[in-house]
Amino acid sequence: MRIDIISVLPELMESPFQTSILKRAMEKGLAEVHFHNIRDWSTNKHRKVDDEPYGGGAGMIMTIEPLDLCISELKSQRDYDDIIYLTPEGETLNQRIANTLSIKKNLIFLCGHYKGVDQRVRDLHITKEISIGDYVLTGGELAACVLADSVIRLLPGVLNDEQSALTDSFQDNLLSPPIYTRPETYKGLSVPKILLSGNTSAIEDWLHDEAVRVTKERRPDLLE
């Protein structure tokens, strides 16, 4: 999978991809992430990429030309499955969306800044709009990292068996059950006996029942 991320602040997104599991995914060639600074496509001598809104109002808007030039150049180099704009107005990210995107080959993520992008960029190029939650960030960069992480970890070979994505919260619309590791007892707090029983089918039943209990308690909407 190849992800091209377009932003005014690419440096904000470097470290997540240079660390731990995502870094290994890049090194193994399972994912490629390329950053593009929109200012490189500005035709303005000050590398300006924003302007005041028509109709007035607070905040600046990202102008169409550098974004169109950048996206058109990328599109001329390869076919993209989706061109995604990260915005609070988008569909809220969930595991189903991450699963769907994880089988795509080439994706563009466009990070908004200031008040957002000129509507005509959306009309012209954007095929999907995604929000990472009902709150407003200073820009789409952190949201792009969240989206990329949720997708890249699902690519075959990125996680090893022990980290398998198949047992994640949400993968079957259930939250994770409680989990324990050594020691068996700490300050009088013990691990549930069933987990020490060696009875794998009883353990599986218990884990499933606990997942249902936790989900009912915290996120009953997932069971509807």
Candidate ranges 56-64, 67-75, 126-134, 174-182; the one touching ligand ADE (CB under 6 A): 126-134
Distance of CA 46 to the CA centre of its chain: 32
Tell me the β-bridge partners of 83.
Answer: 108
Q: Is 150 in the site for ligand ADE (CB under 6 A)?
A: no
Pairing of strands 189-190, 128-131: unpaired
The radius of gyration computed from the CA coordinates of the chain, to the nearest angstrom, equals 22
Pairing of strands 185-186, 189-190: antiparallel
Q: Is 66 in the site for ligand ADE (CB under 6 A)?
A: no
Among 7, 42, 63, 87, binds ligand ADE (CB under 6 A): 87
3-class DSSP assignment, residue 63: coil
Q: Is 86 in the site for ligand ADE (CB under 6 A)?
A: yes
Candidate ranges 64-72, 99-107, 129-137, 194-202; the one touching ligand ADE (CB under 6 A): 129-137
- How far is 39 from 199, CA to CA, in rounded Å? 60
The position carrying tokens 């905040």 is 59
Candidate ranges 1-9, 45-53, 86-94, 154-162; the one touching ligand ADE (CB under 6 A): 86-94
Q: Is 112 in the site for ligand ADE (CB under 6 A)?
A: yes
- Interface with ligand ADE (CB under 6 A): 86-88, 112, 131-133, 135-137, 140, 143
